[in-house]
Amino acid sequence: MTSADTHQTPDSASSTGVAFLKLLGGVALWLFAAFTFAVLPVCVMASDGCDAGDTKMICTATGQNAVVWTPVLAAPAAALLGTWGLASRRENGPLAWMIALMMLMATWFVVLSIAR
C-alpha cells in the first residue's frame, strides 16, 4: 500500500457512519413512500362536493384517476429506486436516492394541486 492508498481506504468508523446514514436515509425514504401510498389516494374524496357541470380537475374522471393512480405507482417505484441508489456502489448511486425523494415530493405536488 502506498501513502495515496491509505488516504482512499475508509477506516471502520467512517464506513460504520456511512452505513448508518444510508440506513437512516433508507428508512426515511420507505416511511415517506408508505405515507404517500396510504394517504394520497384518499384525496379523491375531494370530489365529493362536485356538482354536474363543475370544471375543476378533481371533478373529472381523468383527475380522479390521476389522484388515485399517481401515488399508487410512484411510491413503490421511488422506494425501489432510492433503495437501489443507497445500496449501489456506483459513484452516482446516491443521486438515485435524491431523485426518488423528488419523485415523492412531485407526487404530493401534483395530487394536491388537482385535489384542491
How is the chain split into domains, by residue range? Answer: 31-115
114: helix, strand or coil: helix
Rounded Cα gap, residues 11 and 18, in angstroms: 11
Residue 107 buriedness (CB in 10 A; 0-12 / 13-18 / 19+) = buried
C-alpha cell at 26: 433508507
Give the count of alpha carbons within 13 A of 3, CB side only.
0
- pLDDT tens, position by position, 63-78: 999 999 999 999 999 9
Residue 2 has a pLDDT of 62
**What pTM was computed for the model?**
0.82
pLDDT recorded at residue 6 = 56
